[in-house]
Structure 1
């Protein structure tokens, strides 16, 4: 089956539909990142504080308490499920772009690895493996980077005409 560059051959109406989806998906994704920056900061120590609390820190501006097991399981469960769907749908569109197979493979598989490392890492960090804060920070950055690159590539290729792809 020939799928490399198939996105370029879609009718204008379908391209507009896909572009609207990717834009709205991106707004949702980046709004989630704004929430993260409001609640846990993007630093490794801020991640620890968000899940394990900061009750010992007398100088803390905002008091945070360790999350319960139920809260942690809910966070991990909902994020792994929702992020899997997000990256499956965006990845399907990436496979329809005109790019090398190796780049497509990286952009579509890496986010799944990062989802497991980020949210699994948050859970293990909560259990006391504090070094996981670095895994969470790095995998979260990589997940964001691959989402951004994938969304931009799809949106860019939606603007191309089939003849320009050769």
Structure 2
């Protein structure tokens, strides 16, 4: 069975269904990303404060307390389960495109590595390995970039099926 290019050969209605799915999925993902922006200010010290608190900083604008182990484990559990399913579905759709082999191979596996580094890193940070906040930041950015690129390539393949044939 030939899977490469299968998405472009699907009926228009199915390709529109995929486009709407990917767009709504991105809406949900970036709503969560906006939550990260609000809670961490998108910087390393914000990540640290969000999980470890800032009670000792008398000049802090907003007081944060260290999250409990239950809170951290719940956050990690929920995100790894849900995001792994999201990246599985996007990966399956990407697999059915004419994206070049090396790029496709990278995008199929990179989000899972970033997922483990980001959310495993949150636990490691919470356990006191402070420098891991930089790993969390970089792997989180890689995960977002992968989602955007996968989404764009899938939508492109659905919108322009004749241009994507190999």
Deviation per residue, 1:60-90 (Å, 9 max, x gap): 1110000001001100100000110010001
Inter-partner Cα distance in structure 1 for 2:161 and 2:19: 15
For structure 1, the residue ranges without an aligned partner over 5 or more in a row are none
Q: Secondary structure at the match of 2:41?
A: coil
Asked if 1:140 corresponds to 2:118, the answer is: no
Equivalent residue number for residue 78 of structure 2:
78
Tell me the distance in 2 between the aligned counterparts of 1:148 and 1:3: 22
> Which residue is equivalent to 1:8?
8
Instruction: Indicate conservation of the 8 Å contact 2:8/2:158, yes or no.
Output: yes
Matches within 5 A, 1:150-161: 150-161=150-161
2:39 corresponding residue in structure 1 = 39
TM-score, structure 1 as length reference: 0.97
**CA separation in 1, counterparts of 2:70 and 2:153?**
38
Show CA shifts across 1:12-62 (max 9, x none): 110111111000000011111100001112111110000000001111111
1:99-118 alignment to 2 at 5 Å?
99-118=99-118
Superposition RMSD in Å: 1.1
Tell me if structure 1 keeps the 8 A contact 2:72–2:123: yes
TM-score, normalising length from structure 2?
0.97
Shift of 1:163: 6.7
